[in-house]
Structure 1
């Protein structure tokens, strides 16, 4: 394939669906390189709790946008968009196929779609951030639910930063935050999207087992090692698993409570992920347990996808 015409492939779906393993196997088959579009795998040291593939499980496939920030750093979706698109241009320029993998519909769409972010107002932002500090994220989330129920349903109550941004957009534009999202119109000339389809009961079980493995693999020790940089982070500290372990280490919940809260929160988040991805008509859903899953994914990747017209 001509580098100019290389497709951009995205492997999406909820947490614990098996996206990372499929993306590696697919990249090996089509001459691809992985671009991480997970909001938390960009952080160094956040390995166990984000289910980041160890080096020896990446199949020799180059991975981009892993371990690029310290946990004390923060990054906006707009910044992430720029980094990911630069990685995609670099990969295509070397006649390889970019294979995006991640579970956040917002991050995936920010990269693959003609996605321009609404502006910001420093005064509005400053006021909302002060309210976040004094009132807490729960109060602001309730306000967002009144003003924009769809946005509130897509944002974790603990994610104060995103709540503030959604409220800011609503105030600046006078429209719901979701209304600022573009139609499913691709930024690239050829986008091919693969969804990993897992029944809810199976996914719930996989999430429970994943959290068990994370605890066994030393998630608590990982959080301890990240120290105050994680605890004071406006972004990294909100990650599922990490926020619960921080609460355990702070003495506000027991370790069993932290583990159970991680399972419940992850299941809820997975349902939200699935709901958002199901709204995208371009995604070809493949059964997670198909014996020929990789072959099906290869076929989708080699079939002309949605161009810039949607």
Structure 2
């Protein structure tokens, strides 16, 4: 079995720093498992890793798309699987690092997308619906079209609800009728999850947003807005859609920043729910003594690899 290390967790929990430390220690290369860091010119709002922060570790699937282009889980899966093979051919260990659970899971369990194409526009519409009306209202959309998925999928598991709606939208058949996921992974995958006490995580998220504003997030969004990047998948992301509402005069600057913080906190909560419901993960709480915890993760991973 081919070794694969996966690091997941909510936004602002410290995945980047942890992944660099582990990749340096174990001879790894990192594949970004973030659906937004694929976009060029979108650095601050996506908390994209800088060249200096990489510390010489090769990173993949960053800055590969123009902001006007779409990017799907199926394309991510195809690219990531190819990269995993190439990294392993170099006798290095591939790391997938990111918070987009569906993307990560599509690789670990080799989802079969051949039976239904994805529809990024529809998915974006459903994400906006969930943000506006909540996860329970989105979940109710499954009730008549896919009763089994309605029963089996938790309302908080927004990504999986959207995937079920998308499959029905594209094929007219419930996702529950399809073998959409293999039980056994084609990889010898170790999944490390980083978590944190909620109040501390939310404090880190709020500080991150403040730092983004200081670093020029509003100017970054203004440049995209001026280039005509409007009704695109990329700028529907948290961090841009709120600033766009400010630029359109729908919110004050202060209201946009507060909405960004609130949406980021809600997203972190959804991420944790998704990971706990959908993946087999070895969790590490990073609330205190981060260096000591990092040493613990190193020892754990050493036992998995050697």
The TM-score range, normalised by the shorter chain, is: 0.7 to 0.9
1:159 maps to: none
2:292 maps to: 292
Does the CA-based 8 Å contact 2:39-2:62 persist in structure 1? yes
Compared CA separation, residues 180 and 199, structure 1 to 2 (3 A)? farther
Does the CA-based 8 Å contact 1:240-1:265 persist in structure 2? yes
Compared CA separation, residues 226 and 198, structure 1 to 2 (3 A)? same
Matches of 2:117 and 2:10, distance apart in 1: 33
SS in 2 for 1:222: helix
Cα displacement (A) at 1:120: 3.3
Instruction: After TM superposition, list the pairs within 5 Å mapping 1:1-310 onto structure 2.
Output: 6-117=2-113, 119-120=115-116, 137=129, 142=137, 144-147=139-142, 150=153, 153-155=156-158, 163=162, 166-170=164-168, 172=171, 174-175=173-174, 181-182=180-181, 185-188=184-187, 190-227=188-225, 228-233=227-232, 235-280=233-278, 282-288=280-286, 289=288, 290-304=290-304
Cα displacement (A) at 1:196: 0.7
Compared CA separation, residues 270 and 183, structure 1 to 2 (3 A)? farther
Matches of 2:96 and 2:60, distance apart in 1: 9
Aligned length: 286
Matches of 1:72 and 1:212, distance apart in 2: 27
Structure 2: where are the runs of 5+ without partners? 144-149
SS in 2 for 1:194: strand
- Larger mean CA deviation between 284-293 and 46-55 belongs to 284-293
Compared CA separation, residues 95 and 154, structure 1 to 2 (3 A)? same
Compared CA separation, residues 254 and 184, structure 1 to 2 (3 A)? farther
TM-align CA RMSD? 3.0
Compared CA separation, residues 106 and 179, structure 1 to 2 (3 A)? farther
Matches of 2:117 and 2:21, distance apart in 1: 44
Cα displacement (A) at 1:187: 2.5
2:147 maps to: none
TM-score using structure 2 length:
0.83
Matches of 1:72 and 1:181, distance apart in 2: 29
Matches of 1:260 and 1:179, distance apart in 2: 41
SS in 2 for 1:98: strand
Deviation by residue 1:13-68 (Cα, 9 ceiling, x = unmatched): 00000001100111000001110010000101111011111111111101011100
Cα displacement (A) at 1:296: 2.2
Compared CA separation, residues 281 and 53, structure 1 to 2 (3 A)? closer
